[in-house]
Amino acid sequence: MEKNIRMVLFKEDQIDQASEAIETLHHQGISEKDISIISGVPFSEKILGRPAAWTNIPIFGIAGALVGLVIASLFNFLTPHLYKMTVGGMPLTPIPTSIVVTFELTMLGLLISILLGVIIEMISPSSGPKGYHPKISDGYIGILFTCPAATDEKTCLELQDMGAEIVDPAEVKQP
């Protein structure tokens, strides 16, 4: 069955209508994975009645922090043994002064890996219909959905009755 990707826009103050529109799409048998919401400001999934989304950013963060911790431990406790310079009365690998380096490198690992996580997730292929419209950054809420070609006009008209602005498929851009 041939399917089309369509996009409708709601103004920033039409959040209630937008959530109703998503509900309507569900009633028409369009599954969650065939719907994408794009907006100019963040809305929680609950507001739009969408399933909870998932991100691996915290996992990237923890992994980065661990890498930082390991590197710091190597610097603190391994490097003095590579070329020992023993000073009378002083330990070769003191713990209090090592805490500073451990803290800084752990935090550095955490923070850099979060950026890397954001970049990796941004450039990774995502699920759901793709498309974009510059009006989104003007505060519009966009609903992108994939539906059977035979019913897409009818669906769009139904959403238009709810206050949606229908975007011509040719205007739907790929960023």
Partner 1 sequence: MAVEAKPLYSSKATEHQETNAEELRKEHLMLDPMPRDEMNQMVMNAMHTTTKKYWVFLIGFGLAVVVLLFGAWGYMIANGMGVAGIRRPVFWGIFIVTFVFWIGISHAGTFVSAILRVFKAEFRRPFTRAAELMTTFGLAAGALYPLIHLGRVWVFYWMIPYPNARWLWPNFRSPLVWDFLAITTYLLSSTIYLFLPLMPDLAMARDRTTGWRHAIYKVLSLGWRGTEAEWLRLRKAIGIFAFAIIPVMFSVHTIVSWDFAVTMVVGWQSTIFGPYFIIGAILSGVSAVVTILYIIRSTMKNFDYFIRPEHFDGLGKLILIFSMAWAYFFFNEYILSWYGGEEALKQLLTLHATGPSAWVWYLMLICNVAIPWLFLWNKKIRRTPWIMFIITLLVNVGMFAERYTIIPLTLGHQRNPFDWGIYNPTIVEISIVLGTLCLFIFLYLLASRLIPLVPVWEVQEGQMSHTFRKVGKTEIPSVTELE
Q: Which residues contribute to the site for partner 1 (CB under 8 A)? A: 12, 36-45, 47-48, 50, 53-55, 57-58, 61, 75-76, 79-80, 82-83, 85, 94, 97-98, 100-101, 103-105, 107-108, 110-112, 114-115, 117-119, 121-123, 126, 128, 132, 134, 136-139, 142, 175
Distance of CA 92 to the CA centre of its chain: 45
* Interatomic CA distance for residues 56 and 35, integer angstroms: 21
Nearer to partner 1, 40 or 149 (CB): 40
Query: Closest distance between partner 1 and the C-beta of residue 105, in Å?
Result: 7
CB 37 within 8 A of CB 132: no
Q: Which of 154, 131, 152 is nearest to 142 (CA)?
A: 131
Query: Closest distance between partner 1 and the C-beta of residue 26, in Å?
Result: 16
Query: Closest distance between partner 1 and the C-beta of residue 99, in Å?
Result: 10
Nearer to partner 1, 91 or 157 (CB): 91
Query: Closest distance between partner 1 and the C-beta of residue 172, in Å?
Result: 11
Nearer to partner 1, 29 or 139 (CB): 139
Nearer to partner 1, 1 or 83 (CB): 83
Report the alpha-carbon angle 120-3-140, nearest 5: 60
Q: What one-character-per-residue DSSP string does 74-101 give? A: IIIIIHHHHS----TTS-SS-HHHHHHH
CB 152 within 8 A of CB 14: no
Query: Closest distance between partner 1 and the C-beta of residue 68, in Å?
Result: 9
